Every structure is written in C-alpha cells, then in structure tokens.
Amino acid sequence: MLPQLTFMHKLIITVLVLFSVHLVFSQSYTVNSPAGTISVSISNTSTLTYQVNYKGKSVIKSSQLAFKLTKPEATLANFEITKVDSLVHDDTWTPVWGEMNKIRNHYKELSLTLADKSQSGITLKVGFRVFDDGIGFRYEFPSQTNKYIIVGDELTQFSLADDHKTFWIPGDYDTNEYLYNTTRLSEIDAVTAANKEPDIAVKSVIGPDAVQTPLLMKTADGLYINIHEAALINYPAMHLNLDKPTLTFQSHLVPDAIGNKAYLENPSRTPWRTIIISDNATEVLASKIILNLNEPTSYTTTDWIKPQKFVGMWWEMHVGKATWELSSGKHGANTANIKHYIDFASQHKFDGVLVEGWNVGWEDWFGNWKEDVFDFVTAYPDYDLKELTAYSKQKGVQLIMHHETSGSAFNYERWMDKAFQLMNTYNMSTVKTGYVGKIIPRGEHHDSQWMINHYQRVAEKAAAYKIMVASHESVRPTGLHRTFPNWMASEAARGSEFNNAPALGITPEHTTILPFTRLMGGPMDFTPGLFCFKLNQFEPTRTTEVRTTLAKQLALYVTIYSPLQMVADLPENYEKHTDALQFIIDVPVDWADTRILEAEPGDYLTIARKAKNKNDWYLGAITDENSRVLNLSFDFLDAGKKYEAIIYRDGEQAHWKTKPEAYVIEKKSVNKKTKLKINLAAGGGCAISIREVK
Ligand code: NOJ
Ligand code: CA
C-alpha cells in the first residue's frame, strides 16, 4: 500500500525503502503498518505530536511527545528535526519457552532525531514501530555533552477519541493487587476504588484520575485498545493520569524518595510505549508486540531454564492450617510435613515443592522498619534442609526456595550471592521472591527506577547461578521474559490468594479481565487449582470463599499462561477429586501453539493450546458470573487425525456459590469437524485434554 501524496512536502515511507536524508525536513510524516491496518502520523509544528488510526478510524488523536528535565532544567517540547531514518523489519524468532514455537516480528519503523529548541543543548530521538496489531514508540537520548540527565517527568500523551468503556485499576506506586473496575473513562475514580480495598496493606494511590497499565478500553464501535509499555529497563514504571475534559492520558512516572523520576546516563533510552489495537478481542490477546519490542536474550545457555508445575504448603498458611513462623506451635515448614508434600508431588509427577516459612525471621517480619529481617540462609531448627534435599532427590522432585524480602530489597542484595550459593548446594533451581511491605531503601516505591533495576539485578544474579525466578509484589511485567527468560513469572496483580481476602476477594469476572490487562505484559504466578471452595476448613469462623467452580479452576491452567504453574490446594483436597486432578497432571506449561478461540473482557474466554513436540491439545474456557453455552468447534485440529477428548465440565447443578464442586468428566472421539455445545455454569468453566489417537 502506498502512502498518500496529499502534501507535496511529505516524505514518503514505502515498503522496503531505507533512507536517511540530511536536507530540510518535512514537519509531518505518516507510517503505515505492513498491511496498512494502522497508520501513525507525526507532526512537528509548535509541539511534536503523533496520532494513530486503525482502519481509518481515529484511535489516538493528536497527542504530545515531550519531557520535563530537572537536570539540566528544561522542558523538551519544541524541536527541530535534524535527521529522519526509516526501515522495514520482518523476522521470526523462537522463544526459550512460551505460548508458541515461533513469533513473527514484522513492522515499519520511523525514527526522528530532534534538537531541543529551548537551548538546553539536548538532543533526543523518537522512534516508532508500526505493526498490524499496534504500535510501539520510545525516546532515546544519544551520547551528548549532557551525559547525565535527570527526568522530572515524561510528558507523553494518549488522547482518546471518545469516552470509552475502560477496565482499570487505581494508579499506585506500590501495588497492582487491585480488582478491576469497569467504567467509562470519565467515570474513573481511583481514590474511591482504592478505599474499597482494605485487604491491600501497602498502598500509594496517585490520585483520583490515575490508573495503571496494561489498560484496556473498548470503543462504542467495537475497537479494543490496550496501552502498556515494553522493555522496562533502568526507568520507572509508567502510570497514566487522565485529563477528563479532553479524555487525554498523560504518562506519570513513579518517583524516587526525593521526587525525581529517572536518572539517565547517555546514551540512554526509555521503555517502549505500546498501543495494541484490534476490532477483534482475540487478536489483542494474540498480539506479540510487547515481546517483539524486547531484546533477545544474551544468555549463552538456556537449557537449564525449565517450565514446571509445583505444589507447596503455601495454602496451609493462607487458610490457617499452619503458620510461617515457628513460635505459633503450628509451623508448616517442618521436615515431616514437607516430606508429605514431596511424596504427593512425586506420586503425581509434579516437578517441585515450594516451602515458605523455612527460614528464621517470620516472628516479626512485616510492617516494621528493620532492614535485616531475613538472611535467606538460616533454617528453622525443625526444618532439615539436608535431609529434605536427599529425600526429594530420591523421589525425583525439587524443593523450590522462598525468599520473602519483607520489602527490604537492599538487604536481599547483600545476601543474594550466599542465598543462591545455598540453593546450588542443595540442588534447588527455582526461587519465589516477595516484596511485602514498604520498600527499604526508605522512600523507594515498588515501581520506582531503583526497584526496576533491583528486579533486573535479581534476574541476572539468579541467571549466574542458573536459577529461575517467580517474583511477587514486583512491578507488572513488560515482556522482559524474552531478555531474561529465567525471570519466568511474576504475581503483580490480584492472584488466587485473594480468594481468602475478606473484603472483595476475587470476583468471577476477574480472570476474564486479567488476560486483557496484566497478562499482556507476561506470565503470572496466579496459583490456580483450588478444589475446596469454602475456606473455613481450619478456622470455622472464616467466611471467605472461592468464587469459581472446580471445572473453572482447571480451565485457568490454560487461560492464564505461565511456565511456572502452582498446583495450589492441599493434598487432602486433591485426594477427594483425583479424577479431576488428572487434568492438572496432564496439562503442559510450555506450548507449540496457541489459538484464542473467543474472548470478551469481563465476560468469557476460550483458548486452545498445542503441546510441544506432540499432537495433543488442551482447551480452557471460562465465564464470569453468568452461565453461558460454549459453542465449540474443533477446527483448530489437524485434518485427517483422530483424537480422544477428555472433557472436564461443570455439572448440571454447578454454580460458584451453591455447588462449585459439581463437575462431570466424559470422553468423546473428536476430529477437525466436531462441534460441541457445553454449558458453563455461573462462575464456571470447562477444561479439555485432546490427545491424538494413532
Ligand atoms: C505474599 C505472596 O503473594 C504470597 O504468595 C506469600 O505467601 C506471602 N507474601 C508471604 O511471603
Ligand atoms: Ca461481565
């Protein structure tokens, strides 16, 4: 498709043309995506602006690109264009693990070099990559006389064309563990929403009009728009502040303890700002823009990075059967109890056993100002690491390490080498980290530049010891698992543990929104697999409950992608439903292919995934609080092949509230032409394993 030649002076970007001109530059440029679905127009008049159209419809109206620096003090908003570069890129790459074997990275790029006109002497670049399913753009500060700069704020705007339906959580410097709100843009009220959430201990809400990314919007005429960022490195996370009269979001970077946003040493660059756009909700979920905008890994070997399923005595503590601390008299991490979990994992061929509360310090770990609550190497006296290592080895299972930092990231950095050496000594290759509480160094936030660098240091240090990481209470992911494939998952959203939170808990619709929001950035350690729904098993006065059916818990292993999946419930709860447990035993955590069959944020989602190196498929379908008929076509299967499907579906009376454990398991022969109607209960779901029959 050729760009329009409406203005004589307009520079033309065409397919497969690479140019770099040093003449007098035009003040406006248009870049069309490879198939022409999306176009970005950049204009440099009094300020520098961009706008985005999808199939001719305005998605982002003219929006400013600017910066406020505190060193040197300057507002970068008026520029002279000094250079223009463009290129077309098309390649296909193979992730170490993930939702598919091959990922195509196809875009057109335009990069403008800009000289600030305010006499700061600052030079910067802005680069746009335009894909058929969205765009990414970022700023770069090339090498220049001002080697060190301090960002006061980034003033990037996203001006929306209408008052869209929006799925949002409050903008917050410290936590992303909120329930999603669904309102019009003009109805966003982040402070009121945050105040409804007494179960979140540490909050730093930005203000009434601030929200977090990944942010999903749906327009009146059915366009889905997702705003997020990719490759968040050496920079704070970006939240968004809405100017309601103009329906314009402006970037709001997380500050450090003294109010600065980012300290950059040039050459430097910001993360990519991403906008994924489609008129089909399934294509938003299938978009690989965020991964594509991240750098390939530089790890020389990756064969030590292994997707896995694990059990743990974690839920015992959350439901009050045991405690992390020894002094209570019901310490969960004792040698005998962990042997029981090792036996359970071994029997069902799960890879690991997570042990929390194994190390001294839990008597007084939360909410204090101590820097050195934990040393990550000293076990409680009733926990015999040596004996358990030998026992787990004999049973073909690995222990999974837990490093709760109690927010003292600084202390963790002091101990990291010793802690990872201990893991190497005891044959442990996966660690779950956590950052509960206020961050130390004092005044830092979970999402500030210092902490962003901390999470990266942890990933890289762990890689040096060939250790895989799942982080909790960390920043929401931005596709960095391409670059650091051992940082396999993060929590960074409201996970399954909130089923046990007294106030709002997890609503049935939550898991239909997560894929469109939090999961866009990368895998989540959600910890599905709960088979016991009233959480008063050990403390009869508890009123908390899991708001799904059992079949939906199975389906979550497919709909929430993670290369690390916990099998979260207690062995005694699984023993009651070993037939249903079989799906969790069978379902892979690494895939050759993924097909999003149908999806609507807040309502429902059906995904089919193909196992690696096999012709087997697994399907997960979930619904919100409404029951629904799933009209399933198996046309994703290979023609001419026969398959046996094992269907785990909601029973006739199933309902998340009244009969969550009603399920039916049935076998059916299926092939590419099969069509089935399956009822999903309120808060329900369906999981299917589909194996090729030779
Ligand atoms: C919060 C984590 O999300 C949870 O999984 C963990 O058990 C506790 N912190 C204790 O570290
Ligand atoms: Ca709904």
Pocket test for ligand 1, best of 472, 474, 525, 530 (most atoms within 8 A of CB): 472
DSSP 8-state assignment for residue 323: B
Average pLDDT estimate for 530-541:
97
Pocket test for ligand 1, best of 321, 497, 530, 564 (most atoms within 8 A of CB): 497
Whether 92 and 83 have beta carbons less than 8 Å apart is answered as no
Confidence of residue 15 (pLDDT cuts 50, 70, 90): very low
Who contacts 425 (Cβ-Cβ below 8 Å, separation ≥6)?
none
Give the Cα separation of 671 and 686 in Å (integer). 18
Mean pLDDT, rounded, of the chain: 96
Give the Cα separation of 688 and 655 in Å (integer). 19
Residue 667 lies in a domain: no
Residue 254 lies in a domain: yes
Q: Report the share of the chain in percent with pLDDT over 70.
A: 97
Cα of 512 to ligand 2 centre, how many Å? 8
Whether 136 and 274 have beta carbons less than 8 Å apart is answered as yes
Confidence of residue 231 (pLDDT cuts 50, 70, 90): very high
- Based on the residue annotation, tell me whether 497 is a catalytic residue of this protein: yes
Q: Report the share of the chain in percent with pLDDT over 90.
A: 95
Give the Cα separation of 432 and 379 in Å (integer). 16
Whether 545 and 677 have beta carbons less than 8 Å apart is answered as no
Confidence of residue 609 (pLDDT cuts 50, 70, 90): very high
> Helix or strand or coil: residue 663?
strand
Q: How far is CA 599 from each of CA 182, 325, 386, 632, 661, rounded to the nearest angstrom? A: 16, 43, 48, 13, 25
pLDDT tens readout for residues 272-314: 999 999 999 999 999 999 999 999 999 999 999 999 999 999 9
* Alpha helices (H) in 535-665, listed in sequence order: 550-559, 571-575, 578-586
Backbone angles phi, psi at 404, to 5 degrees: -80, 125
Average pLDDT estimate for 17-24:
49
Q: Which domain holds residue 262?
A: 14-292
Contacts of the segment 164-168: beta carbons below 8 A, 24+ positions apart: 164/217, 164/218, 164/219, 164/220, 164/225, 165/217, 165/218, 165/219, 166/211, 166/215, 166/216, 166/217, 166/218, 167/215, 167/216, 167/217, 167/513, 167/516, 167/517, 167/601, 167/602, 168/211, 168/212, 168/215
Average pLDDT estimate for 602-607:
98
pLDDT tens readout for residues 112-123: 999 999 989 999
* Ligand approaching nearest to the C-alpha of 177: 1
pLDDT tens readout for residues 581-595: 999 999 999 999 999
Q: Is the pLDDT of residue 2 over 70?
A: no
Pocket test for ligand 1, best of 175, 314, 356 (most atoms within 8 A of CB): 356
Give the Cα separation of 251 and 369 in Å (integer). 32
Residue 379 lies in a domain: no
Confidence of residue 61 (pLDDT cuts 50, 70, 90): very high
Q: Could you give the angle at the alpha carbon of 81 between the alpha carbons of 75 and 84, nearest 5°?
A: 130
Residue 74 lies in a domain: yes
- Amino acid at residue number 150: I
pLDDT tens readout for residues 650-668: 999 999 999 999 999 999 9
Whether 374 and 361 have beta carbons less than 8 Å apart is answered as yes
Cα of 47 to ligand 2 centre, how many Å? 41
**Looking at ligand 1, which atom is closest to the CA of residue 324?**
10
Cα of 233 to ligand 2 centre, how many Å? 35
**Structure tokens that stand for 222 in this block:** 């059915």
Give the Cα separation of 87 and 126 in Å (integer). 14
pLDDT tens readout for residues 177-208: 999 999 999 999 999 999 999 999 899 999 99
CATH number where 23 lies = 2.70.98.10
Identify the pLDDT of residue 163. 98
Residue 160 lies in a domain: yes
Identify the pLDDT of residue 17. 39
Give the Cα separation of 435 and 593 in Å (integer). 34
Q: Determine if ligand 1 sits within 6 Å of the CB of residue 491.
A: yes
- Which residues, listed in sequence order, are joined to residue 265 by a DSSP beta bridge? 148
Contacts of the segment 63-66: beta carbons below 8 A, 24+ positions apart: 63/156, 63/157, 63/158, 63/159, 63/248, 64/155, 64/156, 64/157, 65/126, 65/137, 65/139, 65/155, 65/156, 65/157, 66/155, 66/156
Average pLDDT estimate for 48-56:
98
Identify the pLDDT of residue 119. 87
Q: How far is CA 265 from each of CA 141, 234, 262, 343, rounded to the nearest angstrom? A: 9, 10, 10, 52
Closest by alpha carbon to 582, among 662, 647, 525, 637?
647
Nearest CA owner, ligand 1 atom 10 = 404
Cα of 14 to ligand 2 centre, how many Å? 43
Model pTM?
0.96
Provide the number of structural domains found in the chain.
1
Whether 167 and 225 have beta carbons less than 8 Å apart is answered as no
Give the Cα separation of 521 and 276 in Å (integer). 12
Residue 310 lies in a domain: no
Confidence of residue 450 (pLDDT cuts 50, 70, 90): very high
Q: Determine if ligand 1 sits within 6 Å of the CB of residue 356.
A: yes
Confidence of residue 11 (pLDDT cuts 50, 70, 90): very low
Q: How far is CA 419 from each of CA 111, 402, 415, 424, 429, rounded to the nearest angstrom? A: 44, 10, 6, 9, 12
* Alpha helices (H) in 231-310, listed in sequence order: 281-286, 289-292
Q: Is the peptide bond before 271 cis (omega within 30 degrees of 0)?
A: no
Sign of CA dihedral 573, 578, 579, 582: positive
Whether 284 and 186 have beta carbons less than 8 Å apart is answered as no
Identify the pLDDT of residue 24. 77
Identify the pLDDT of residue 14. 36
**Structure tokens that stand for 249 in this block:** 């979001």
Q: How far is CA 204 from each of CA 200, 208, 210, 310, 444, rounded to the nearest angstrom? A: 10, 12, 11, 33, 11
- Strand segments, DSSP code E, in 327-461 are 352-354, 398-404, 430-434
Residue 495 lies in a domain: no
Identify the pLDDT of residue 481. 98
The residue annotated as part of the active site, out of 197, 229, 497, 509, is 497
Closest by alpha carbon to 608, among 686, 498, 493?
686
* Ligand approaching nearest to the C-alpha of 474: 1
- Amino acid at residue number 9: H
Confidence of residue 23 (pLDDT cuts 50, 70, 90): low
Residue 131 lies in a domain: yes
